[in-house]
Amino acid sequence: MQEIDLFVIGGGSGGVRAARMAGASGARVALAEPGAMGGTCVNLGCIPKKLYGYAAHYAEDFEDARGYGWSGPAPSFDWATLKRNRAIEILRLNGIYEKLLASAGVDILRGRARFADAHTIEVDGARFRATNILIATGGKPLRPEFPGAELTLTSNEIFDVEPFPRRLLVLGGGYIACEFASIFRGLGSQVTLLYRGEQVLRGFDDDVRGFVAAEMSKKGVELRLNARLASLERGAAGLEATLTDGSVVEADAVLAATGRRPNVTGLGLEAAGVQIDERGAIAVDDVFRTSVPHIYAVGDVVDRLQLTPVALAEAMVVVDRLFGSGLRAMDYEQVPTAVFTHPNVGTVGLTEAQARAKFGRLRIYRTDFKPLKHTLSGSTERTLMKLVVDDASDRVVGLHMVGADAGEILQGFAVAMKAGATKAVFDATLGIHPTAAEEFVTLRQPAG
């Protein structure tokens, strides 16, 4: 039986980062992964979704170009070409991940890992004894329960759906649902988004939620809010979704984007004594120790913030604790994130509602405008920007944007906010003209 310093279960973002860094420190490391290296982000999440988002934007760009003097028919879209090129790029990234692990001396095991006991891992019949173990198995789509649910696709299958759905019904109102609704609308589908809540993107700032919903609607996504699906069946003209109000939506494909759950199935956690919490996630402390002190868990399987950079940072805390100074800590305050709808959403810090509950007295700065690009393009797309300021300290505690390249714009502002920037610092910063980003440093009149 091989002796291992750190055995990593899962080859996603958190697992690969931990294995690489631990291996580079000289530790004996093994990593088990039954699928393609890179996890959800590389294979079925962030990367392919962003590539499809780029593809979807071209339809708008071709149309916008007419206002700038370009004429002629727009090129036709070929779904097979996009899928093929995406697959090639993902395969390239899989190879890079494997090379990074190999260069750090990590033993890559191609198989599904399972606990035999608290120190022993079994992979396809072979057993490994590990001093420390890291669980980084991520999450998986949660398929809703209703008659006909087996006819739905999840975010795992939608990338390769065949044939291309001319009519797509999306179930859910979170970021995954909204992103895929925008993507397939841009690629040419007739898209209906069905959500049981009063507004999409629950948990985001209310101004952002309403604004992005309006922009998505303008682009042709039909939003059916406060609506519930009763059943789904295959009819003569495709899939027929019956709502609880009796209405029927016909579609060629139905995407269930109604949440994700931690991927703990088949790990044998009970054999190791690892406990899960009431949400089905692995319970961990502030340094990601499970109920068994030498077993750790990071990423979506602990279900704190389901973001790739968060999993990477959590992994570094574990590696530092085991093979470094032990001083690194995880900070979940002011984590920036983007939603790649059309237009994009970018946010960092607190929503207005969260800030009011925490600080009480606020100053709110808000603007929405037509971007310079669209003064000639003919598009009606608008941009929203919002600052949430704690009145007592003058600190900017929330920054939100809906507009083109929102994620790219907010990354730099996230650094400023992490450093404690006040509204006075924003005011003293010169803008880059003409850009949309300069609006964040030229907002002068509070809106509330």
- Domain end call among 239, 258, 277: 258
| Domain of residue 413, CATH code | 3.30.390.30
Q: Which of 170, 141, 183 is nearest to 40 (CA)?
A: 141
Catalytic residues: 433
Strand duo 139-141 + 260-262: pairing: antiparallel
Task: Provide the pLDDT confidence category of residue 41 given band limits of 50, 70 and 90.
Answer: very high
| Domain assignment present for 17 | yes
- Determine, yes or no, domain membership for 377: yes
Q: Can you say how many angstroms the Cα of residue 277 is from the centroid of all Cα atoms in its chain?
A: 22
Percentage of the chain modeled with pLDDT above 90: 98
Burial tier of 400 (Cβ tally within 10 Å: 0-12, 13-18, 19+): buried
pLDDT at position 252: 98
Are 1 and 128 contacting, i.e. CB atoms less than 8 angstroms apart?
yes
Same structural domain, 52 and 170: no
Strands 383-390 and 362-369, bridge-based pairing: antiparallel
Q: What are 306's two structure tokens?
A: 């389901």
The domain in which residue 161 lies consists of 149-258
Confidence band for 268, pLDDT divided at 50, 70 and 90: very high
pLDDT of 22 reads: 98
pLDDT (tens digit, 9 = 90+) per residue, 135-162? 999 999 999 999 999 999 999 999 999 9
**CATH number of the domain bearing residue 237:** 3.50.50.60
Nearest to 101 by CA among 17, 5, 181: 17
Residue 1 has pLDDT above 80, yes or no: no
Residues 384 and 435 in one domain: yes
The pTM of this model reads: 0.96
Q: What is the 3-state secondary structure (H, E, C) of the chain?
A: CEEEEEEEECCCHHHHHHHHHHHHCCCCEEEECCCCCCHHHHHHCHHHHHHHHHHHHHHHHHHHHHHHCCCCCCCCCCHHHHHHHHHHHHHHHHHHHHHHHHHCCCEEECCCEEEEECCEEEECCEEEEEEEEEECCCEEECCCCCCCHHHCECCCCHHHCCCCCCEEEEECCCHHHHHHHHHHHHHCCEEEEECCCCCCCCCCCHHHHHHHHHHHHHCCCEEECCCCEEEEEEECCEEEEEECCCCEEEECEEEECCCEEECCCCCCHHHHCCCECCCCCECCCCCCECCCCCEEECHHHCCCCCCHHHHHHHHHHHHHHHHCCCCCCCCCCCCCEEECCCCCEEEEECCHHHHHHHHCCEEEEEEEECCCCHHHHCCCCCEEEEEEEECCCCEEEEEEEECCCHHHHHHHHHHHHHCCCEHHHHHHCCCCCCCCHHHHHCCCCCCC
pLDDT in the model for residue 284? 98
Q: Are residues 424 and 372 in the same domain?
A: yes
In-domain check, residue 329: no
| 448 pLDDT higher than 80 | no
Q: What does the pLDDT average to over 324-334?
A: 96
The answer on 284 and 411 residing in a single domain is no
Same domain, 279 and 345: no
Question: Are 183 and 63 within one domain?
Answer: no
Q: Are residues 389 and 425 in the same domain?
A: yes
Encode pLDDT of 97-127 as tens digits.
999 999 999 999 999 999 999 999 999 999 9
**Domain membership flag for residue 378:** yes
Number of domains in the chain: 3
Alpha-carbon separation of residue 162 from 56, 226, 241 (angstroms): 17, 30, 19
Determine what percent of the chain is predicted with pLDDT higher than 70: 100
Q: What's the mean per-residue pLDDT of the chain? A: 97
Same domain, 417 and 300: no
Q: Is the pLDDT of residue 66 over 90?
A: yes
Tell me the per-residue pLDDT of 212-249, one tens digit each, with 9 for 90 and over. 999 999 999 999 999 999 999 999 989 999 999 999 99
408 part of a folded domain:
yes
User: Is the pLDDT reported for residue 399 higher than 80?
Assistant: yes
For residue 74, the model assigns a pLDDT of: 87
One domain, residues 342 and 430: yes
Mean pLDDT of 249-260: 97
Asked if residue 332 is part of any domain, the answer here is no
pLDDT at 200 over 90: yes
Task: Please indicate, yes or no, if residue 241 is contained in any of the structural domains.
Answer: yes
Q: Which of 258, 289, 306 is the last residue of a domain?
A: 258
**346-397 pLDDT, tens digit each:** 999 999 999 999 998 999 999 999 999 999 999 999 999 999 999 999 999 9
Instruction: Say yes or no: 66 and 165 in one domain.
Output: no
253 and 266 within one domain? no
CA neighbor of 308 nearest in space, from 70, 38, 91: 38
pLDDT band at 2 (very low <50, low <70, confident <90, very high): confident
pLDDT in tens, 401-416: 999 999 999 999 999 9
Structural domain includes residue 328: no
Q: Is the pLDDT score of 13 beyond 80?
A: yes
What mean pLDDT is predicted for residues 36-64?
Answer: 97
CA distance 278 to 291: 14
Residue at which a domain ends, from 210, 230, 258: 258
Could you tell me if 388 and 291 lie in one domain? no
